[in-house]
Amino acid sequence: MTVSTEKNYEGVFDSTLGFGHRPAVISIDFLQGYTTEDSPLYAPGVVKCLKEVPELLNVARETNTPVIHTRVRYTPPDFSDAGIWIAKAPVLKALVEGNPYAAFCDEVAPLEGEVVITKQFASAFFGTSLITMLNGLGVDTLIIIGCTTSGCVRATAVDTLQYGIRPMCVRECIGDRHDGPHESSLFDINAKYGDVVSKSETIEYLRSL
């Protein structure tokens, strides 16, 4: 008998965390390389989700919810700050200062006073001050948006849980290169590491604080 994926996980990996009381929003790597068609990093799913993001960011700002942005930057010519990841994914060599592909998408660019974290690896926590910042703010809920679902979003969600904070991934505001990895990653995050939530319920939560 063939059992569906959902049925196989039912009663095992299907609980929810729910929103907490002190949220922050993290906007992961909304860089022009993911939304420019001639870029080797181009990801159609990111173009799609980007349209949903400004409304959520506006609500976060209106409710005085901290908004944190991440970007990836490497140092040419040897890219030693990328470790061996650059050997696995040489496409990332586009993410250097001065390359338009490494610039934030205009629609979701950081506002003055919003923190920008520069990272070299998938998780927004790895090698950065993010957890120190969140602890200092008393954050118990991290609302995760950005790209890509199967890479930096998933890695950040896993580390969020491991640091004792609730990862809440906003489905409409997350994108990837292909629907397959995107949907699989959202399913996996929702099953084991955090909650995948809708934009509408996230906005409702922020406005209720």
Domain boundaries, the chain: 20-208
- The verdict on whether 152 is a catalytic residue reads yes
Q: Does the pLDDT at position 12 exceed 70? A: no
Q: Does the pLDDT at position 14 exceed 80? A: no
Whole-prediction pTM value?
Answer: 0.94
Q: Determine the Cα–Cα distance for residues 79 and 81; give it in Å rounded to an integer.
A: 5
At residue 15, the pLDDT reads: 83
Confidence of residue 4 (pLDDT cuts 50, 70, 90): low
At residue 76, the pLDDT reads: 96
Instruction: Locate 25 and state its tokens.
Output: 């929003």
DSSP letter string, 78-112: T-GGGTTHHHH-GGGGG-BTT-GGGSBPGGGPPPT
State the fold for domain 20-208: Rossmann fold (3.40.50)
Q: Which of 105, 152, 169, 173 is catalytic?
A: 152
At residue 148, the pLDDT reads: 97
At residue 13, the pLDDT reads: 63
Report how far Cα 12 is from the mean position of its chain's Cα atoms: 26
Beta-strand (E) ranges in the chain? 23-28, 67-72, 115-119, 141-147, 166-175, 195-197
